[in-house]
Structure 1
């Protein structure tokens, strides 16, 4: 059994062809990448540079915490912050949260890579990316990592793996 791009396209109804989902400058933690990450969080999510820097410092890397995203952009009904962000900033925060919980889930379960935010810079262009191909590559990368001796966790869109496995099992049982 292996998951193909056709499976991803059929099951998830997301593009498997289009612009490459790749982000430069966020592969390694450097002072330059940290500075770029803070600026990007500030500009694209509509928060002050100080708030962005505090969040990057708390999350200890080129990430932000999911709980910060949720509390900052999903306030309880009737309790909007004074400087409620623009619709675009809220949409980016929501998409960032969604991508980090589904297609690009990591082992932490609590952090979101800021690299994904770079892909959400132009909201009109988001639908042109090959999200399905990137999700499948990400899953395969983490499946490979999970086979190492001292690794005890796995990351990626495991629901996709589970669904494909169950479909293959059903076909096997039905046709054999």
Structure 2
């Protein structure tokens, strides 16, 4: 943006999708075609008397068509079935981080000129744009925030076909100012999703074999803090203790907020921030 960086954060995922952001990461094993068949037989067996098989099949379809959607749009990786072998453990995963890691990964691909499709959960991206940029794009509104009674915030929006192309949007984005942004759109949603300080964890996030940097210090105004000159981006290729760092997030949280203060003026940034 002409006035600095913005990003989709864990807090955005929590409020838009109501997915848990605390929890463990998942490191799956690769599976061969033979193992995939065995998984399907063991965990998706059709049995009228067993709800567990139907539950696994539904959950596999659900994540495969939303947060894990890839560019095939019709297939789901068999290894994701390993997530649901023990249904009692499902709530222990950080599904919010999952959605964000997957979308970050595909947005990285989409930044390449030869990329024609976007994987991940585009609904998350689209609703994030609707919340933060009220003048960008076309959208329908199902209800006002004050009328919400605990539904995920993404359900506020409905799709409307737009007519603008990429070349039309570029000058619109270039002309945006801080006054055109709703910097903290979810303050009226806190009755249902309280802000969690883990959203200011600065380090790498991972899900499976995908590792991405998560850098809230580069978009502090979205958290109500004065923006300072951020540290250089992380090299996640060098990260070795991501699970440990995630569990011990508090040290990172303190390091992010120590140099700054709360502010109500988004244009109030540290001298030299945009130099």
TM-score calculated relative to the size of structure 2: 0.46
Residues 1:167 and 1:44: Cα distance change in structure 2 (over 3 Å): same
Match of 2:76, SS?
strand
Choose which of 9, 29, 45 in structure 2 pairs with 1:24: 29
| Larger RCO (alpha carbons 8 Å, 6+ apart) | 1
Q: Which runs of 5+ in 2 are unaligned?
A: 1-5, 135-178, 184-265, 267-275
Counterpart of 1:45? 44
Counterpart of 2:180? 172
Q: Distance in 2 between matches of 1:85 and 1:114?
A: 24
Residues 1:173 and 1:16: Cα distance change in structure 2 (over 3 Å): closer
- Contact 1:45–1:85 at 8 Å: present in 2 too? no
Q: Distance in 1 between matches of 2:92 and 2:13?
A: 16
Residues 1:46 and 1:141: Cα distance change in structure 2 (over 3 Å): same
**How far 1:101 sits from its partner (Å)?**
1.1
Q: Which runs of 5+ in 1 are unaligned?
A: 27-32, 48-82
- Equivalenced residue count is 135
Residues 1:85 and 1:5: Cα distance change in structure 2 (over 3 Å): same
Is 1:138–2:102 an aligned residue pair? yes
Residues 1:174 and 1:106: Cα distance change in structure 2 (over 3 Å): closer
- Contact 2:132–2:182 at 8 Å: present in 1 too? no
Counterpart of 1:97? 61
Q: Distance in 1 between matches of 2:41 and 2:59?
A: 16
Match of 2:133, SS?
helix
Equivalent residue runs for 1:1-176 within 5 Å: 1-26=6-31, 33-46=32-45, 84=48, 86-170=50-134, 172=180
**How far 1:15 sits from its partner (Å)?**
1.1
Residues 1:22 and 1:173: Cα distance change in structure 2 (over 3 Å): same
- Contact 2:131–2:182 at 8 Å: present in 1 too? no
Write 1 or 2 for the structure with the bigger share of helix: 1
Q: Encode CA deviations 1:80-130: one digit per residue, 9 max, x unaligned.
A: xxx537210000000100111111111111111112111011001101100
Q: Distance in 2 between matches of 1:174 and 1:140?
A: 22
- Contact 1:96–1:112 at 8 Å: present in 2 too? yes
